[in-house]
Structure 1
């Protein structure tokens, strides 16, 4: 398990991508990024992974269920409102449950993200018993170039992180600064 050190908390408050408030504009950016690396694979890789209940529900309500969603039933440490909960309950696809305590990235979360990202059956919803706030970093490592990670930025909107080598390097560097066996965690995605 990786633990978030106090020294890294401030750095992680900076968004890793552009912030959107309009879901349609965000989804257009996701599609544009995916088109730059599209292949003719019979089963295309996941293109959209969301971290957070409100972000996931917002995009689902806008007509686009994520290929992989990571949710925990909370927003800003409070239970989600009934409308968000109803949207999340209606998500199609497989549901996986992991345990991930606050301010950590558990082995269970890491391996489930990896398996979901290399799988072929989408959509997948990963329900976290605990907290999903840090899942964006390993998600960036798990997904192929051309995919997008979208997470919530409290009080500002939705952050779109187009997965490409430079952002993957940033995610690796941030994870390397966590407490715990960072080499083993990062090697899961090599």
Structure 2
């Protein structure tokens, strides 16, 4: 599925709470994490930040880039690693299948994306377990923290349905 230009602006609206970059520290992030939540990160910098805080995400989706510049992902010895191809401005059916599969695996699971991971927030929000918190970076603004609810699932599904 390809991202049509007509919905690009809708995707710039955070799906959850936007924590400004200067406030995205461990103490502030923890305020948004209910007990025993299933933490999901999409993006290299967000994933690295959580690992640095000692809060290992159950599912991590990274592409080895930040703002299109190559970077070395943080090593994680006990994570199961899966690989997918997902071109920029697209969501492949393989990506959706692997995301669904990852939720039935023992965490932590890391999905390494050959291409771009940004849009994978949508299928993650649709298929994540009930007690999930999804985090991703809003470029040049901060960290988005999204509690998975029926409303969020429906909004993500509506956006996904608009893709061609």
Report if the CA contact (8 A) 1:145-1:165 is conserved: no
Q: Say which SS state the counterpart of residue 126 (structure 2) adopts.
A: helix
Match of 1:41 in 2: none
Instruction: Give secondary structure in 2 for the equivalent of 1:8.
Output: helix
Q: How many residues align?
A: 160
Q: Counterparts in 2 of 1:61-100, with a 5 A limit? A: 61-80=52-71, 85=72, 88-90=74-76, 92-100=78-86
Give CA deviations for 1:20-48 in whole Å, capped at 9, x if unaligned: 23232113312x2xx4xx6xxxxxxx701
In structure 2, what is the equivalent of residue 57 of structure 1?
48
Find the aligned partners of 1:90 and 1:114 in 2 and give their Cα distance.
21
SS at match of 1:89: coil
The residue aligned with 2:123 is 138
> In the alignment, what sits opposite 2:12?
13
Greater CA radius of gyration, 1 or 2? 1
Structure 1 residues not aligned, in runs of 5+: 39-45, 180-190
TM norm structure 1: 0.80
TM-score by length of 2: 0.92
Q: CA deviation at 1:120?
A: 3.7
Aligned match of 1:114 in 77, 100, 117?
Answer: 100
Query: In 2, Cα distance between the equivalents of 1:95 and 1:120?
Result: 11
What is the rounded CA distance, in whole Å, between the counterparts of 1:91 and 1:65 in structure 2? 12
Residue 28 of structure 1 is matched in structure 2 by 31
The runs of 4+ residues in structure 1 deviating greater than 3 Å are none
What's the RMSD between the two structures over aligned residues? 1.5
Q: Please give the per-residue CA displacement for 1:71-116, whole angstroms capped at 9, x wherever unaligned.
A: 0001111113xxxx25x22353100000000000011110010001
| Residue of structure 2 in register with 1:170 after alignment | 155
Structure 1 or 2: larger helix share? Answer: 1
CA distance in 1, matches of 2:131, 2:25: 19
Q: Structure 2: any 5+ residue segments left out of the alignment?
A: none
